[in-house]
Structure 1
């Protein structure tokens, strides 16, 4: 299939270093009026005027914004069941710890995941992916983490793999082996490090390993042991941390050369400054702050310090029931104090770089044709509007899917 988009305001994001940091993060490489030709799933040409090849489908953008598809680099989109009852309790003022004590929270989702087959989990995930695609997300990172037992973690990872093969976009799987705790903390974390981790890397060579470091989840020392073992076998690591408490995980993550530190709402100024000087990404999850406690990571300050930043939805049934990258962008601007341009770059070119995907996130010849067209002629509307549907056209791998 060949497509020619004419007369568009094109955000190429193709100028400058990749990934972007500092002042360069806000440089969108705008072409005020340009054409984009797509052929064989890739971008074939970008120019002020392109002659239409024979048989090409022509789309008149009428000066609307054309930009890279969103890359959602942190999600838990593979789950089962729902958490509506506990959500309603939280909205009524019931404390999170009280809900956990009654068997709610992440353990409710774990029970639901264990009850489903691999095929059923894959079907659930495919549904989530289709909703994300309509909102302009063409690449999604999806974590396991709701299995907690080896057989169920492997079931989740195979379900993610199956759904990925049936979806027009791209799914990047992550093994979230350090999520919740079952039983004694020491016994459980040792089992994960000694038994679950080796089994996962043998079945999924090269997969990235993740953990959640919090008072109600994995302690710093256990995360360190998990990551040291993973790194010894050549696996990349990521960590969620400093969401509610600053526990000292950021220095440990930097020591272990983690790909990213995600969350950061409670990170100290010193830890953020240290993170900004490294090649480790800080991933902002503003939907979680909006949904839980109104607390947001100091993203604008982090950018000013030169940090590598990405923005993601954290889509999950408990703390971020959202599929929309436009919503995440709007909240990153309001809560994390990014500029609209910085938030766009953080959710496209930088998020792609974090996932190791250099063939997308920019509009340039030879890149994968993952593009969206907005209803708007000004990209700032992505951050300005709340609750609307700003995406009019979605192209994934050269195919028009919306």
Structure 2
């Protein structure tokens, strides 16, 4: 027993050493420019020397036709293997066509997933992946997604963000890869799904791979900034979009999803198809590594900050990090103001910290008959009385108030 413990300890030390060597071999992403500092985010990176359940959730929530199983995700020989199996089972399923949860719904395949427990947004993400042999039927994927926040109801609010670094073998040609975006944005008071098919100009990038992704490992990456999203395959740029909506905190995810002919698309979701074949199953994708870097410095502002994904540092200068910075508060002046009927005042609103990523705010009044307020914070006195003007940040919902008195 003592010898076994020593062997286990030596193996663990060796694993850590291998991870350290690998990280040192790639200290910066390929997009790094001279003079830039990029920091590896350990909580969203892995060389897969061990199956680390403290870093990854291998039994995350089921969604649609995807039934995730912990045992379908294995790690050996420095590789993560995610396997899809033909397994009949029943569970609760959301039936979007009928807008209801259905208990004991029959499903026919299970698969593997690795979802990071830490979240983040801006940075460079890269994974070295070998696709599954089976085609068509499964789609190896490297992506990130946020929670869905239905409490965000103002026009322009983003309830959901998803960035697909790559989705393989889900089209008719085995060499077609997708590098797409999904989001839910409030438009005209209604949450609206924007998908690659419905908004291709802002949400879709397709690429014809110069290789068969099933045959060997290749690198797939994306660089996400506050302004731009740029995709890469083996270091070559293959897609670009302006970052219009993808500012939410997201979990990094590796998975193998089910596709046609075993699924069909109806009512904005996948359903199981009549094809329940076991041919080609089980089938697996493999991941050699996943690495996430955040660039520090390079923006203007007075504070530094980090995301919730384990940012291990930043610079000490008066510059903002290239990562999501959450709102911590908001101040509005003047705190009180007396106006005569017909007069106006423009509020001075300061969102904290100075490096906060989303500084958008919403103004409201407690009494429109006394005072109104515009989206720009201009208050106009209407009738005698008093009204409270409230400013609320779209990120984190921080508030401050101004008391308006009209003579």
Tell me if TM exceeds 0.5.
Answer: no
- TM superposition score normalised by structure 1: 0.27
TM-score by length of 2: 0.26
Higher relative contact order (CA 8 A, sep 6+): 1
Which structure: greater helix fraction? 1
Larger Rg: 2
